[in-house]
Each structure stands twice: as structure tokens, then as C-alpha cells.
Structure 1
Amino acid sequence: MSWSLGVVQTISACVRLFTPEGGSVLIQTPVYSEFYDMTEAWGRKVVESPFVEEDGAWTVDWADFEAKLRQCDLFLLCNPHNPLGIVWTPEELRRMAALCEKYHVVLVSDEIHSDLIFHGKKHTPTATVADNVITCISGTKTFNLAGLQASAAVFPNAHSKEVYDRFWQRMDIHRNNAFSLTAMEAAFTSGDEWLDQLLPYLSANFDYIRDYCAANIPQIKPNVPDATYLVWLDCRGLGLSNQELHDFMIQKAKLGLNDGVSFGRSLSGFMRLNAACPRSVLEQAMNQLKSAVDGLKR
């Protein structure tokens, strides 16, 4: 295991170190926008394997996944998935890892949301079902400590770890700051009560969004996640283009949501909402959204 300034920094370093110049990186879309950014920042090509969506459920297109994977040098897996909130089963993870091994593709698993699991689901660390995995972990999402910049990377072998460590040492970056290490230790050793209270609160927020939209904004269909604190909103019922939807949320609803197109460049009509906030803030946001949607009907 090695220290890291953050999961994004680890992903960036892995793309740089474990793919050739001009190489290709597979992502499953929609997915965390930094997967695009960190790949393209190093001059690598993004290869998209879109999820199949049917009646609000998103699943892997396995034929497409395998066909795309064999063209690539590295696969960025989001486990659990952001923004769809998918909790991968051990069987799904084994299948992905086996295909990566078959085609000699480096597998990097972003597991930053692994403590935020709901509805009786259970997180399976990818490295527990496969040997060829670089795992990115952190307590920053769980305990709201992102500004401290602390995480870790777990490697499948000494050589990969040595390559990674040497990369940071060349820049004279040898460790996390002492404050972040102390905060992480405190969070993971004494934060059980916080997490035990957080999870049902977030789950109730998801239910509130689902019920509010069903009763007041049926044009918007939220995907209730099994993991993370993020809700994927299907806004296609509003009949707006991506730019129109972006402007509508900011100018009419007065909300700062994430544009769906940044998670999947071929997508249209989606937004991502952060539900990790007090219920009062969420209620205000949903009321503003309803008023803005009502204004479209006039």
C-alpha cells in the first residue's frame, strides 16, 4: 500500500505510469467525469463502453465491454459506481477482472464510496475476487474530509508499487501532510457513530427525492442509488437540450447540479444531484425545481 494525495491523483498517476504514450483507457459511461479528464490530460484515448438503460435500470453490455476492452491498455472501474450508485456483485467483478487478465489490461478500481452502501447491499472490494487490481481508497467521502487530501493505493505486486512510489519521489513528494493522517486515523478508528447516523439519513433523503418527484415533478425521474450520496436525475421528460437543461437549472431553478453530459458525452437530458445535505436544504432545492418546472408549462 502507498499513500496518495487523493484518488483522482492516484488515477492520474496510474494512467501516466501504466499505459503507453497514445494508449487507450476504457471507461463505463456514464461515469465520474475525472475519468475522462485524467485520461486525456496525459494524451491517452478514452474508449467508452456505455451502460444499457432500460426502465431506469443500468446494466453492463458485456459484448461491447469485451470488444472495447481488447483495444485498451487500462480499465478504470468505479466500485461502487458514481453516478449510478451501482453496487457490483462478486460475479460481475470477477468477470471484469478475468477479461482484463485475458487481454492484459491494467485494472484500476476507484472505491472511494465503498463505505456508503444502502438497501441491504454489500460492497465487494475488487481485490478480494481478483489478483490483478490497483485499488484506490479513502475516507474523504465517508467522513466529509476531501479538503485534507488523503488517500491510499493498494497494489497487486511490489513492482507496480515501486513504479508508483518512484513517480512521486521524483517530484520530492514523499508523504501526506500530518494533519490529514491524524484526521484519517481518527475517522476510521472513532467514526462508527457518525457513519451509523449518516447512512439512514442519506437513505431517507433519497426516498424524499423519489417521492417528491413522483408527486410533484413527474417529468423528472430520479435513480435511487444503492451506494454513494449522489442521485442521477433523468430529466428527459422536460424536453430540453443539454445546454437548455444546464441554463434552466442555473437560471430558473437556481440550482448548481452537475451536467449529465460530463459523465457521458453522448448522453442527453441527465443531471447529478448531491443529496449529502440537511433535509431543509434538500426541501428548498426540490421546491425551487418544482417552481421552475411549473414555469415551463406556462
Structure 2
Amino acid sequence: MAVAHDIGVSKAELIESANHNYQLRVYTPAMAATRFSSPQLPDGFEFTKNPRGSQQGPWKLFDFSAERALVAGDEIHLAWERDGLMLTAYWLDGSQASQLFKNQAGVITLSMAQLSAGSGSWQDAAVRYLSLGVEHILLGLDHLLFVLGLLWIVRGTGALVKTITAFTVAHSITLGLATFGYLTLRPAPVEACIALSIVFLAVEILRARDGQMGLTHRSPWLVAFAFGLLHGLGFAGALSEIGLAQSEIPLALLFFNVGVEIGQLLFVCAVLVMVSFGRKLKLATPRYVKVLPVYCLGGLSAYWLLTRIALLGTPA
């Protein structure tokens, strides 16, 4: 018998209790309980009661345990004929997290990382957030283009170190404030301002080619610091999407930031090596060829700015 007005998404809860005991419970009428088969548990976990589950009022319960806790790398696979599962996890430390998991190719995969599960140990947390930080900066084209714009303007090793340090300090400040909840802004205006920062650098580069030295050329560290505050909010948005265990926030903040810096330094070194190699080739290039990359930088960032401004009116 079909349930009237069934939207295809079931409500579920994952409850952690002492001694690494867990209960996955899904809200379902008893008449429909057979559609929820045994979950496929992570390695090392076993059912402590009937693997087929038991019915308790409107809930079907699956109890399981292991000699360790569920960690961010674990997944539970559900071969359930549902469009999705709206799951809330209640962790032993009192924190909770909710996530909608959709059915993909007949399987609903519950990712513990998306439910803010812990990493297992501080070493695992360090590796996890360090790698996520490196990955985020190297895949974050807008952040890299801003750094590239700074490299285009800054001359001299001392000025470069001062500018990159100012950018690092600034985004570390806002990353920390946002992660601890002291500073909250919607992602859309932050992303639009990040695009604007790249447009600003592109304009400064073009003005300098005509002999008009702007603020960035006079005080590059000041511009790097000011816009670094905005980029830090962007980093914080990415970090929050990962799913942070409350007990790991200080570790996550530290190692994610270190990862971002490593990725940033790798990019800076790669750019400097390519510039040095290009100078050794001593190729004669027309002026329009030299300025073309700047127009590409400005054009792409302007496109981002317009598209992100268009999103400002959408709900958060």
C-alpha cells in the first residue's frame, strides 16, 4: 500500500552512544518497513541486533558497533528504493549535523565526513585538513589569479615576501573568525568581492603600463592585506562545507590554513620558475602579446563578478 503524498525522501537519524555503539533509525510505517534492507556497514563494524532491523513505533532501527568510532572516511551504503534520505547525526559529544543524501544508481551513500564525524586521531585530522587546504587553493582558480596579479605587480624579493605575508596574515584572521562563528557573511557577496579584487588588480596592472602607478604599486602589502580578509572568508566557506567535528575545529583551522599556505607557495614558486625560464629564452614579443594575459585576467574576473552579482538576490 503506497503512502499518500510520499515525496520519496525518508527522515532518518544516526545516534552515537557510549563504547562505539550506534543506531541508524529511519522513519517509516510498519507496512513499508520491508523496503529498508540491511545497511552495508564500514569495515570493522557489526550489527549488535538483527541485521534486518527491528520496528519500534514508526521507526525501523539498525544497531551496530565496533572497537572504534565512526570517522570522516567511513561510509554507510543503503540499497534502499528511496529518492533520498534526510539524516541527522547525533554525536556523543553533544554536537549534531544534518545532511540530505540522494540516491545515486540505486544506492544512498551516507558519508560521515558530510555529517561532521571526527577524523579518528589528531594525526589523521592533520593529514586530512592539510591535504584539503592544499587541494582547495590549487583548485581555487580565483584565489590563484589574485596571487598571480600580485606577482605581476610586485618587484623585488623583499616586497614580494612582505606582500605574500600580508595576504597570509589577513586571510588567516578572517578564516579563524569565521570558523569560530565570530564573523558570518553570506557566500554570494564574499565570492563577488573576491572576483572584484582580481578586476582591481587587472586595472592596476594596465594603468601601470601607461605610467600611472596606483595604490597596489605604492603599497602592495596594504592591498594584499585588505583583499586577503575577503579571501579568508572564502576559505572559511570551503572549510565549513567539509563538515567540521566540534572537537577538531582548532586542529582543522591550523592544518587547513597550513595546507592553503603550502599550496600557495607551490603556485608562487611555479610562476617564478616559469618567469625565470621565459627571461632566459629572451624571445622578442610584441606589446599586444605581453598585455593579452592581463586582459584575459581582467575579462575572466569581470565575468565572475557579473555572474556572482546576479546571485546576490537569490536566497542564502
TM-score, normalization: structure 1? 0.21
TM-score, normalization: structure 2? 0.21
Greater Rg, structure 1 or structure 2?
2
Q: Between Structure 1 and Structure 2, which shows a larger proportion of helix residues?
A: 2
